[in-house]
Amino acid sequence: MRLSASVAAIALCLAAPLAALGGEGDPWAGQPRHLRHRMEELADAEARGELGEEERDQVRRYWATHLYRTDALNAVESAHYSIAELFLERANAEAAVAELGKVLAAAASDDVQHLTHLNLGQVHRLHLNDAAKAAEHFEKVAGALRHKANAYELAMLEDKGKLDEAAALLEKQATEAKEQGAKLAALHRLAALYRRHNLDDKALATYQRITAGFTPAIVKEIHDALALEVDATFQRIRDLQLKGAGHEAEQLMQGLHRRAQELRFAGRWDEARAYQRAMHKGFRAMQEFHRQREREERERQERQRQGGEGEGRPPGQF
């Protein structure tokens, strides 16, 4: 007996880095994936205000002519994106907006709709200097990409010197957070915002809110809850595999990856690491479970073979 195809697929998923939403990115983008992934990471760092002037200039030059792309795009949608990028190279942002509008008009999937609104927001923000239109598109982004949209909207407010509005946005995120980890991340971003603008007293007060409101025991509870979430999902995956429902099992695994990516996009770094560790632990346990089943199956077959050989011998012969 061999490991099921779904287990092999899960092994590949866990071996691959979680570089971008949609896994390996757009295969039709016409550029080395590692370069795009690196520039995507730097764009996120730039939105969080973590880059120096030289790196920031490099990132902005790159994204002046590129769009954020994932493998949610089909071949035709990818062609529209490439056309839009070519228009950006010619400094024709209006034509790029019109081209991306064709993707929205073609009844694209939800993932592509959210991706395209994210890119339209960035084009209006970086090329057309239209903050209102950019914010309109950012607000239409949902799912894991919502966190990217939030970061870009925050960066837009910072660029325009609207620090009070930026701080209010982060306070709103902290107040409305449904998970403790999301609140903790929003407060960290708020403190970092104050530090970037030399508002040390406000930064200090925000960090003290964190240390007063989050004890090590609370952080451990957050991480333990994530581990239980992963364990429960792996149990469901194993149950589905035993029933021969490999496709459903793979869907659950994809859900685990989406959750891990969402934690990363939200800047919940320690939670993302804890979640990834739990995923690897769960997969190792599942591998061992299947190996044990293989051993038991081989032993059963061997017993059957030996029993069959014994039945076929003439009487009195051993």
Confidence at 258, pLDDT banded by 50, 70, 90: confident
CA 196, CA 89: separation in Å to the nearest integer? 32
pLDDT of residue 306: 84
CA 170, CA 131: separation in Å to the nearest integer? 18
Cα dihedral 184, 156, 196, 164 in deg (nearest 10):
-80
What residue has token string 């994210």?
A: 118
- Cα Rg of the chain, angstroms: 25
Residue 217: is its pLDDT beyond 70?
yes
pLDDT of residue 15: 42
Residues 18-26, mean pLDDT to the nearest whole number: 51
Give Cα 182 to chain centroid, integer Å: 15
Cα dihedral 174, 175, 178, 180 in deg (nearest 10):
50
More confident residue, 87 or 245: 87
Confidence at 288, pLDDT banded by 50, 70, 90: confident
What does the chain come to in residues? 318
* Average confidence score pLDDT of the chain: 86
Would you call 220 exposed, middle or buried from its count of C-beta atoms within 10 A (0-12, 13-18, 19+)?
exposed
Confidence at 317, pLDDT banded by 50, 70, 90: very low
CA 82, CA 28: separation in Å to the nearest integer? 9
Mean pLDDT is lowest, of 184-198, 223-237, 292-306, for 292-306
Task: Of 262, 238, 259, give the one whose Cα is nearest residue 248.
Answer: 238
Residues 50-71, mean pLDDT to the nearest whole number: 86
What residue has token string 């071949």?
A: 75
CA 270, CA 83: separation in Å to the nearest integer? 39
The DSSP symbol for 92 reads -
Residue 264: is its pLDDT beyond 50?
yes
Q: How many helices (H) and strands (E) does the chain have?
A: 14, 0
Residue 245: is its pLDDT beyond 50?
yes
C-alpha distances (whole Å) from 54 to each of 37, 51, 60, 127, 155 are: 19, 8, 10, 20, 17
Residue 84: is its pLDDT beyond 70?
yes
pLDDT of residue 22: 41
CA 107, CA 104: separation in Å to the nearest integer? 6
Residues 196-200, mean pLDDT to the nearest whole number: 94
Strands of the chain (E only): list them.
none
Amino acid symbol at 234? F
Would you call 302 exposed, middle or buried from its count of C-beta atoms within 10 A (0-12, 13-18, 19+)?
exposed
Element (H, E) at 21: none
Residue 216: is its pLDDT beyond 70?
yes
Residues 49-60, mean pLDDT to the nearest whole number: 82
Confidence at 28, pLDDT banded by 50, 70, 90: confident
Mean pLDDT is lowest, of 130-139, 165-174, 292-301, for 292-301
What residue has token string 């970086």?
A: 126
Q: What is the DSSP string of 109-171?
A: -HHHHHHHHHHHHHHHHHTS--HHHHHHHHTT--TTHHHHHHHHHHHHHHHTT-HHHHHHHHH
pLDDT of residue 184: 95
